Amino acid sequence: MLDFALLGFIGLLLLLGIKRPFIWVLAYVYIDIVAPQKIGWGLIQSLQLSLIAFVAAFAGWLLLDAKSDARFTLRQGLILALLAWCGMTTLGAQFQDSAWEKWDWVWKALVFASLLPLTLRTKLRIEAAVLFIVLAVGTITINGGVKTIFGGGGYATLSLLVDENSGLYEGSIISCVAIAIIPLALWLARHGTLFKPGWMVTAFTAGLIFACMLIPVGTSARTGLVCLGVLGVVMLRSVRYRFVYLGLAGLAMMAAVPFLPQSYVERMGTIGGYEGDQSASTRLAVWGWTLDYVRDHPMGGGFDAFRANSFTYQTRVVTGEAGNSQVEFREVTEEARAYHSSYFEMLGEQGWIGLGLWLWLQLLGLWQMEKLRRRFQRRDSNRGSWQAGLATALQQAHLVYLAGAAFVGIAYQPFLFMLVGLQCGLWSYVRRVEGPELKAQFSRARRGPAKAAVAV
């Protein structure tokens, strides 16, 4: 029955796409994030749904969609340059078997990110893409939030829609992504037109945000706490009453602490010191190994180059009871440990050139969203514009993701490149729609003094 329900929904999206090809783009967003083929039990698992939706989305744009308003941006060029570089390093990867397995999904994420802005020709399409991304992630977070409330959480034990610990269903990754979509959900609640603002939309958004904030608790992922802290700081720029915001945030934090599981509190307490935490010590050792590795392999070792690592370090272990405890230092040897950082993941796998392209892509997006935010805030000082609001939300989501990426290997996560695609689409849309108006304003400003002089 579950398979029929999932296939029925996907089939409906594909059917609607015959009349509106952009719906195939939304279908791919849903499938790539939720992975319904992994949720079902029978026929659906044998279907290549992601590939089917990808081909439909690309073919729909290429053959059926209008292209008169499509604009190719610099960041899309960077995405394709990164794709080409990843392809080259994969050809020479140190571990060919796993490298090509990773390539199978990385290339789709990069190609789709370069395609998505070309399809976002209208405000309605931009909003629909944001809505599908938020609701797709919400499908996972609401499920996890409900289970957390009823005591189903714990480190590496929270059971989400899929019984596996990879992709968005991995605890640290979903914790990061769940916090990142909060600004986008708030933007939809304020500026959405597909579901117009009202008490029902507000109530659903509040529930969704609450579920997103529960995910770091349910997964006991320290990354989620870091992302939540970063979001709290970056939102200070956009709130109207900052002192009220800080006060309410402090009260909410104090009210929540007594209800947090003891296991969660103890795990969060390990953030302050890495010596007694083997996981944190391993991260530092892997990062040090990666720096040594790129000295000999400045172009990187291809996907999954971390499998070559081997290192030994000391970790601190406290034994005994309180008041009679002893501290021991134990030697630990690790092999083939993952990077646990997107920055070191890019560096180890794609070398300095790949890391440079990736960082350029991220930083340029933050700058472009800041530029849009300031432009529309100056123009619409008395009323918030949807453009400024979306630019702010995309910037905040991006910053949260990049903060979480410092501790999780999610450099190629499709969600990140969907954010990048949305930013490129908004940037291109604004330049196309607002460009003539800005040029006209500039021309009038230049002609104004001349006319005044003649009149005098």
Residue 60 domain-assigned (yes or no) = yes
Decide the pairing of beta strands 326-335 and 310-319.
antiparallel
How far apart CA 262 and CA 408 sit, in angstroms, is 24
Residue 23 domain-assigned (yes or no) = yes
Residue 368 domain-assigned (yes or no) = no
Domain C-terminal end among 42, 65, 88: 65
Residue 4 domain-assigned (yes or no) = yes
Which pLDDT value is given to residue 327?
62
Residue 416 domain-assigned (yes or no) = no
pLDDT tens for the 456 residues of the chain, in order? 788 888 899 999 999 999 999 999 999 999 999 999 888 777 888 888 889 999 999 999 999 888 877 788 999 999 999 999 999 999 999 999 999 999 999 999 999 999 999 999 999 999 999 999 999 999 999 998 888 888 765 555 677 888 777 788 888 899 999 999 999 999 999 999 999 889 999 999 999 999 999 898 888 788 888 899 999 999 888 877 777 777 777 777 666 655 565 555 555 655 555 444 556 678 888 899 999 999 999 999 999 999 998 877 777 665 656 556 666 667 777 788 889 899 999 999 999 999 999 999 999 999 999 999 988 887 766 556 899 999 999 999 999 999 999 989 999 999 999 999 999 999 999 998 876 665 555 455 455 554 433 332
User: How many residues make up the chain in this entry?
Assistant: 456
Which pLDDT value is given to residue 324?
62
Residue 214 domain-assigned (yes or no) = no
Which pLDDT value is given to residue 43?
80
Domain C-terminal end among 47, 65, 83: 65
Cβ count near 443 (within 10 Å): 10
Q: Could you list the residue range(s) of the whole structural domain that residue 25 is in?
A: 1-65
How far apart CA 347 and CA 343 sit, in angstroms, is 6
Which amino acid is located at 193 in the chain?
T
How far apart CA 175 and CA 214 sit, in angstroms, is 9
Residue 38 domain-assigned (yes or no) = yes
Count of structural domains, the chain: 2
Residue 300 domain-assigned (yes or no) = yes
> Which helix (DSSP H) or strand (DSSP E) does residue 267 occupy?
helix 262-268
Domain C-terminal end among 20, 35, 65: 65
Which pLDDT value is given to residue 303?
94
